[in-house]
Amino acid sequence: MWQQTLITLRARPRGFHLVTDELLAGLPELRACRVGLLHLWLQHTSASLTINENADPAVRRDFERFFNTLVPQGMAGYEHDDEGEDDLPAHFKASLLGCQLTLPVAAGRLALGTWQGVYLGEHRDHGGARKVLATLQGDRA
């Protein structure tokens, strides 16, 4: 089976957000997959996807503080600021974290670890809705 779906994630404020449930809601076909892979491709250059802790929201807040320290906004010398001072720092963060994930599917579910979830890293102050192209490949149950 092959299935490709464009999922629009709702707009979120700057920071790291668990989007696992929102992605799964856009992929009801996943429940019919016995074994396979789900590839997620974020169609933006100022946001990112990553896997990490799904239980303690402090982890997501710490991620935001860490990446803001690593890539500060308003630093002298940035040339690309067409859309504001958060523009180039957002691109840096997106490149560091990446815009794609490939996840295993088993028995109609994502085969994530107990404490794992999919994060959207929203690196703009006002990034808006984000689009994820989800491609599911696998064997039907």
* pLDDT: which is higher, 115 or 77: 115
Does the structure show a pLDDT above 90 at 130?
A: yes
Tell me, what's the pLDDT at 41? 98
Name 116's Cβ contacts closer than 8 Å, sequence gap at least 6. Answer: 51, 52, 53, 54
Query: Count of domains in the chain?
Result: 1
Domain extent for 64: 1-72+81-138
CATH at 65: 2.60.120.460
Q: What is the reported pTM?
A: 0.96
Q: Among 97, 127, 20, 96, which Cα is nearest to 7's? A: 20
Does the structure show a pLDDT above 90 at 121?
A: yes
β-pairing, 33-42 vs 130-140, is: antiparallel
| pLDDT level of residue 84 (50, 70, 90 thresholds) | confident
Q: State the Cα torsion 26-30-32-36 to the nearest 10°.
A: 160
Residue range 72-81, pLDDT digits in tens: 998 888 888 8
